[in-house]
Structure 1
Amino acid sequence: MSSEQDAKNAASEESKRKFREALDRKKQQSTGKGEDHRDGTSRVNQVQGPAGHQREFRRKSG
């Protein structure tokens, strides 16, 4: 029974190690992309679509 627990613990530790490595790789990939806002410029050029005409508001008649 002890050997079964040891096998389960080893498998658990192995999966934890794999997840940690994957998380480290993910963090390394995202470090360069998330710092664009720090230079004072925005990635967004326009907040909304172009307003080519002035909106017309009419009262409801009834």
Structure 2
Amino acid sequence: MSSTDDAAQASAEETKRKFREALERKKQRAQGGEDHLDSTGSVRQTQGKAPSQRQFRRKSGG
């Protein structure tokens, strides 16, 4: 029985180790830079007034 317990415990330790390594890689990527502050987005300016604003008029007569 102890061999199955040892195998299960070793498997659990291996899983924990993999999760810790993945978390460290994630933290390293997060420290790499502040992407939202480097102004490389595709939007260059805010939306302004439309070039020609549509006018809606009532239909008269008829």
Question: Does TM, scored on the shorter chain, surpass 0.5?
Answer: yes
Q: Aligned equivalents of 1:28 and 1:60: distance in 2?
A: 63
Structure 1 residue runs of 4 or more that deviate by more than 4 Å after TM superposition: 41-44
2:45 maps to 46
Q: Structure 1, unaligned stretches of length 5 or more?
A: none
The answer to whether the aligner puts 1:55 opposite 2:53 as a matched pair is yes
**Match in the other structure for 1:13:** 13
- The residue type paired with residue 46 of structure 1 is Q
Measure how far apart 1:51 and its partner are. Answer: 5.8
The number of residue pairs the alignment matches comes to 57
TM score, norm. by length of structure 1: 0.56
What one-letter code is carried by the residue in structure 2 that aligns with 1:33? G
- TM-score of the aligned structures, taking structure 2 as reference length: 0.56
User: CA 1:20/1:56 → structure 2, altered by over 3 Å: closer, same or farther?
Assistant: same
Decide which structure has the larger Cα Rg and report it: 2
CA RMSD between the two structures:
3.2
Q: CA deviation at 1:32?
A: 2.3
Alpha-carbon distance change, 5 to 24 in structure 1, aligned in 2, over 3 angstroms = same
Higher relative contact order (CA 8 A, sep 6+): 1
Give % identity. 44
Gaps of 5+ in 2: none
